[in-house]
Structure 1
Amino acid sequence: MSLIKTVQITFDCAEPERVARFWCAVLGYEAPPPPRGFDSWDAFDRTEPGRRGADWASTKPVDGEPRLFFQRVPEGKVAKNRVHLDVRAGTGLVGAERLAVLEAECARLVALGAVHDYTLYADGENESCIAMRDIEGNEFCLD
């Protein structure tokens, strides 16, 4: 029996390279370099007849974090995600200090193209978090 040691998170999207660049900026990841002799993955993919560009893109994570993979699909997003990422910006913080950090990170991500949906404020049992959407509408939380 084998044990799974890593996980990759895959996003269906319309523009893989654009969404990958967004998530690299959010998480501090890097994009893997294109093959030798090409300026971009898009240029590499266009060497295949009939291709319009990259049908996929990925991230190069740091410190053992999961790789994110983005694949082009023809259909758009039509419903709420059944799975979403929690971006852990406020880990270990509570109250007003946590909310200030989350709001600052929210402002940074909105400048990158994210959308702020709503803020859930601390209620005595749960700490604050912020619900957001990425540049193609995929839900995620700042936690």
Structure 2
Amino acid sequence: DEFSINVNVELYSILLGHEEAIYGLCWYPNTDLKKVATTILSASMDKSMVLWTFDDNQKMYIDKARVGEVGGNTLGFYGCTFSPCGSYILGHGYEGALHLWKIEEIDNRINLVPQVINSGHFNTVEDCCWDKHSGRYLLS
């Protein structure tokens, strides 16, 4: 007995803005249905994370906020995620560092404010998962 799935794939948009490979991509969490379809976070080895929003007029994703070039993060970001409530973004570095920013939206502008976060890895953090129920636990 064979099992097969047919999938149709269509190009939706191209994200232009990173200078190195993108290692992480994350959709906005299900807290706000309008933002879910229109907000993406990307993490790259170019030492940056970018928050993208879809522009209906231009029919493409626009770079709305960017963080990066973090002091000890010499090899870039290995991945990224949103907090379950969508108020924070987290990036994890190739050398084991965790980096956290709070998303502040003022007058339709997005500011990413650095936050303090514990870290204790001595090697690559390959993935992170935030507890989606309470948001109190982060596994790395």
- Would the TM-score normalized by the shorter structure come out above 0.5? no
Larger Rg: 1
TM-score, scaled relative to structure 2? 0.24
Bigger helix fraction: 1
TM-score, scaled relative to structure 1? 0.24
Bigger strand fraction: 2
